[in-house]
């Protein structure tokens, strides 16, 4: 745009002002035509940088370790201490698995009529209590004091019936009654005859090598344990589920599980 510069100094001043106005208008037009940031782009630029996931079980952005997965104990640098041998009645080993590869296994007996009368009577009383569904009916059979039936490989605290209920999957102890009845319904063995440790023990798997069981015996075993339990026991080398021992005099000495 050309403006005449006539009119002396006043004309020159007017020309300068007009030129300045034109320059300002051109600058504003240029700014108005430049691209603007989208809202999403602005927000994206304001977000913090992503945190790199931790590989040490730590929560993102913190040094507090995350808990170990359920069912997997946290690893430690110290090896677990071996279990101490329990004290008390279990020291005799009469309730331990009785598999001895150097001696032939004892005879498996199913005929309850071959039991001494005191043993048969105690066996039947326990079965009757189990069938009733009332775990309290085991209390007089378990007894108390030094003659009390052993219910654990270690000492128990508190009431015996309360302890048995704690072993059961239901609050009334009926599952443990079912296990006890099933154990006493299996065949039995007579061990340590003629010694102070003489016992009648159910089930007979207590005294037999598990890898020597025939098909019929394995069916009988699976009434008490699962196939998975059986595989675990074969690795251990003996039957270690619940078993019952009764002396020739009819004393119920133990009802335990474990090794």
**Which pLDDT tens digit goes with each residue over 195-225?**
999 999 999 999 999 999 999 999 999 999 9
- For residue 123, give every residue at least 6 positions away whose Cβ sits within 8 Å of its Cβ, in sequence order, or none: 112, 115, 184, 246
**Which pLDDT tens digit goes with each residue over 66-111?**
333 333 333 333 444 444 443 444 444 677 776 666 678 899 999 9
Determine phi and psi for 47, rounding to 5 degrees: -70, 145
Between the alpha carbon of residue 159 and those of residues 95, 251, 254, the distances in Å are 21, 19, 16
Residues of the chain with pLDDT > 90, as a percent, come to 56
pLDDT value of residue 22: 53
| Whole-number Å distance between alpha carbons of 183 and 131 | 13
Instruction: Determine the straight-line distance between the first and last CA of the chain, rounded to whole angstroms.
Output: 108
Q: Which residues of 168-179 are buried (b: 16+ CB within 10 A; e: fewer)?
A: beeeebbebbbb
| Whole-number Å distance between alpha carbons of 242 and 182 | 10
User: Regarding beta strands 199-202 and 252-256, do their DSSP bridges make them parallel or antiparallel, or are they unpaired?
Assistant: unpaired
pLDDT value of residue 135: 98
**Which pLDDT tens digit goes with each residue over 16-63?**
555 555 555 554 454 444 444 333 333 333 434 444 444 444 434 433
The H or E element containing residue 94 is: none
Strand partners, 200: 190, 246
Model pTM? 0.64
């Amino acid at each position: 745009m050309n403006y005449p510069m006539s009119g002396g100094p006043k004309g020159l001043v007017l020309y300068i002002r007009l030129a300045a106005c034109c320059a300002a208008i051109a600058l504003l037009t240029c700014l108005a035509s430049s691209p603007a940031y989208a809202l999403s782009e602005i927000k994206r630029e304001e977000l913090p940088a992503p945190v790199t996931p931790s590989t040490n079980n730590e929560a993102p952005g913190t040094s507090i370790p995350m808990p170990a997965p359920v069912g997997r104990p946290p690893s430690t640098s110290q090896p677990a201490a071996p279990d101490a041998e329990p004290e008390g009645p279990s020291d005799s080993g009469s309730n331990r698995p009785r598999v001895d590869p150097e001696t032939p296994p004892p005879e498996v007996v199913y005929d309850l009529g071959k039991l001494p009368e005191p043993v048969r009577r105690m066996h039947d009383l326990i079965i009757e209590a189990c069938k009733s569904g009332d775990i309290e009916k085991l209390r007089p059979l378990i007894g108390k004091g030094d003659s009390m039936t052993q219910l654990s490989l270690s000492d128990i605290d508190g009431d015996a019936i309360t302890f048995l209920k704690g072993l059961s999957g239901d609050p009334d102890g009926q599952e443990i009654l079912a296990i006890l009845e099933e154990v006493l319904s299996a065949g039995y063995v007579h061990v340590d005859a003629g010694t102070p440790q003489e016992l009648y023990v159910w089930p007979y798997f207590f005294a037999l090598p598990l890898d020597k069981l025939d098909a019929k015996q394995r069916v009988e075993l699976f009434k008490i344990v699962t196939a998975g339990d059986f595989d675990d026991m074969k690795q251990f080398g003996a039957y270690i589920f619940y078993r019952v021992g009764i002396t020739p005099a009819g004393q119920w000495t133990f009802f335990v599980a474990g090794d």
